[in-house]
Structure 1
Amino acid sequence: MTTIREVVIGIDGGGTYTRVAVADLAGNMLASIVAEGAASIHKDLAAATNVRQAIASAIADAGVAPSQVRGIAAGIAGYDSPADLEWVKQLTDVPGLNCPKWHVNDTVAAHYGALMARPGIIAIAGTGSNIFAITESGQAISNYSFHHYAASAARFIAYDAVYEALAGNTDATDSELLGTMLRHFDCSSLDELALLARNGFEEDARERNRIFGQFAPSLTEAAEGGSSLAILVCNRAIDQMIVGIELLARSFDRGTIPVSFIGSVANSPYFFRALGEKLAHGRNRTYNVAAPMLPPVAGAVLLALSKLGIEFDEESLKQKLSKAG
């Protein structure tokens, strides 16, 4: 008699890529894929198609049937209010998947992965920006709870840099960055870039944000190389992230708080180093910068297993889930 293998699915639905992992109930990774296309309807109107296709591909790669899935945990970027659940639920509406489905903001999945559900703070800066914590009492809070937003996402620091350049806030250290900026926006001069800006850059907001977001790696690299403009912009965003972390820290008991950085911007060499240096002199609490234990998609798998009440050995599960991409 053949035993039917039961599995869970974890989804890290970001603003650029959709990651899906399939694991059995012991945490053994059976499939892990990274699919082009955002999971957030705010980034891509085809978000539902993107996620459903990614789920179908992951199930096929794992060699299981939809009926074998015990539960799905989906961390979705842009799921910020109860009203969002209407479009979020559609992402996992795949024929045959009649199991429990737990939809959360992608920061929850990221936290589960980074700190394996332990108390602490994660600071996200990549396609999006969010600072999220789970306290010792199990309370989940975000800087959004304070109506605070750290404008540290890729597109925001890129917008900021372009505005500062057009305002003339540059010096000799910025020549290479300005050249890269003009090439990125296909302009021959700052005057031409100013005209492009005056006309709104790009009519479609999603496409405009995508173009700006793609410039962010050049900006963080320029900050590392000593560009005054890049350093100004990056430090401004870093200071906002620090404010958000300190806000959340007040909800913790006195003691050292683990903090992990998530996302391409937060983990760029300049941001990572500057954030760590500032947290070393924390005002409200003492912080310990810790590398994420698992990627967000593995955090979503862990969330699904936890929701099913499955007990596990943390170190063993960490080793198994670390294979998720």
Structure 2
Amino acid sequence: MDYARAQGTFVIGIDGGGTHTRVACVDLDGHYLSSASGGGGSPMHNDDAEVNVRATLARALEDADLDPAGAAGLVAGMAGFDRPSSPTEARYNRDVERFFEIDGMTCPGTVVNDAVIAHHGALSGHAGVIVVAGTGSMILAINERGDEIENGQFDHYAGAARHLVHDVVQRILTGESSPTDPLYSAAKAYFGVDDVHGLREVVLQRSSANRNDTKRSYGDFAPQVTALAEESPLADVALRALVARTAQGVRLLAPLVDTDPVPVACTGSLASDPSFLRRLDQALSSGTPRRMQLVSPRLHPLGGAALLALTLAGVDSNDTVLVALESALGICQGE
């Protein structure tokens, strides 16, 4: 660490999601120097995104006494940051880019959508498809030529944690769930109501509340839905509906990748849940002529950001570097 600090040979990887911002500093061999975790960094989901990102980045640098002038490269993957070919209007991009205008930092830096760092981390820079689902959702293919294509370019959206909960709540309100279903009871307890009438009133009240607060409050119930998926018919049908939309998005993108079978990795609090993964594996194994294979991510998104930052700094990301990043990521993810 002293050598890296003296020579200015470290890079910064940032994963800014709707729930957490994670920052890692690694040397040019991929070895861990420091890390920090803070509040959500997506302006799409967080009113205080800039404060969260800047504070988390500052803490990661300060904890290892790293001089910003010594950074050799920075890559940030940010939820809500639109890619050049995205069907949306890049409404947050300039705001997000300003998050990283740090005094004394002159290294090359780039900001990409968080699905891009997730893809590079999970598949080590190889072609394939990544499913991201947590606070937000995107399905992204990167082919052998490096082309990036997202499901939104096909006017498709699969849904994230809050959408799973919306489905559960709507099914309860329309009488599609038995009062004896364990998720029915869990939903009443979570929303602090005694019956369907009370749940309807809470939903109506939340419709006029702060949008970002409301999205998080619904999304926070998703882990209870997936935890009950094997014993609750309501949880199972809602999860399968979201998985079916996700599988459709993967099928739209798979023909753009030449690899056979097409590797499909998943990341995010919802997409990496075992209940989600089991159902997605079932959905992808039937009803399509193109072979697809679920694979475990080699690196989490933060590792993907660090990997891209090393590439930006001119480092050949060989297997030795990847192994070092795996170790560094394990430390960072444990925070």
TM-score, normalization: structure 1?
A: 0.94
Seen in structure 2, the aligned counterparts of structure 1 residues 134 and 173 have a Cα distance that, compared at 3 Å, is farther
Q: Deviations over 1:74-111 (max 9, x none)?
A: 00000124443211112112221122110000000111
Q: SS of the residue aligned with 1:288?
A: strand
Matches within 5 A, 1:272-311: 272-281=277-286, 283-311=288-316
- Divergent runs of 4+, >6 A: none
Counterpart for residue 221 of structure 1: 227
Please say if residues 178 and 184 of structure 2, whose CA atoms lie closer than 8 Å, have aligned partners that are also in contact. no
Counterpart for residue 98 of structure 1: 106
Matches within 5 A, 1:73-84: 73-80=75-82, 81-84=89-92
Work out which of the residue numbers 35, 56, 59 in structure 1 matches 2:58: 56
Seen in structure 2, the aligned counterparts of structure 1 residues 55 and 78 have a Cα distance that, compared at 3 Å, is same
Aligned mates of 1:47, 1:266 — CA distance in 2: 23
Report the Cα offset of residue 287 of structure 1: 1.3
The alignment yields a C-alpha RMSD, in angstroms, of: 1.6
Aligned mates of 1:60, 1:7 — CA distance in 2: 14
Q: SS of the residue aligned with 2:243?
A: helix
Q: SS of the residue aligned with 1:223?
A: coil
Please say if residues 17 and 114 of structure 2, whose CA atoms lie closer than 8 Å, have aligned partners that are also in contact. yes
Seen in structure 2, the aligned counterparts of structure 1 residues 277 and 211 have a Cα distance that, compared at 3 Å, is same
Aligned mates of 2:298, 2:104 — CA distance in 1: 33
Question: Across the two proteins, how many residue pairs are aligned to each other?
Answer: 319
Please say if residues 108 and 312 of structure 2, whose CA atoms lie closer than 8 Å, have aligned partners that are also in contact. no
Percent identity of the aligned residues?
37
Please say if residues 52 and 93 of structure 1, whose CA atoms lie closer than 8 Å, have aligned partners that are also in contact. no
2:30 pairs with 1:27: yes
Matches within 5 A, 1:200-215: 200-201=206-207, 203-215=209-221
Look up the equivalent residue of 1:99 and give its one-letter code. C
Look up the equivalent residue of 1:281 and give its one-letter code. S
Please say if residues 108 and 313 of structure 2, whose CA atoms lie closer than 8 Å, have aligned partners that are also in contact. no
Aligned mates of 2:313, 2:68 — CA distance in 1: 17
Q: SS of the residue aligned with 2:263?
A: strand
TM-score, normalization: structure 2?
A: 0.91
Counterpart for residue 317 of structure 1: 321
Aligned mates of 2:203, 2:283 — CA distance in 1: 34
Report the Cα offset of residue 46 of structure 1: 1.2
Counterpart for residue 257 of structure 1: 262
Report the Cα offset of residue 59 of structure 1: 0.8
Report the Cα offset of residue 197 of structure 1: 2.2
Counterpart for residue 164 of structure 1: 171
Counterpart for residue 4 of structure 1: 7
Report the Cα offset of residue 312 of structure 1: 3.2
Q: Please list every run of 5 or more consecutive structure 2 residues that lacks an aligned counterpart in the other structure.
A: 83-88
Report the Cα offset of residue 137 of structure 1: 2.0
Q: Please list every run of 5 or more consecutive structure 1 residues that lacks an aligned counterpart in the other structure.
A: none
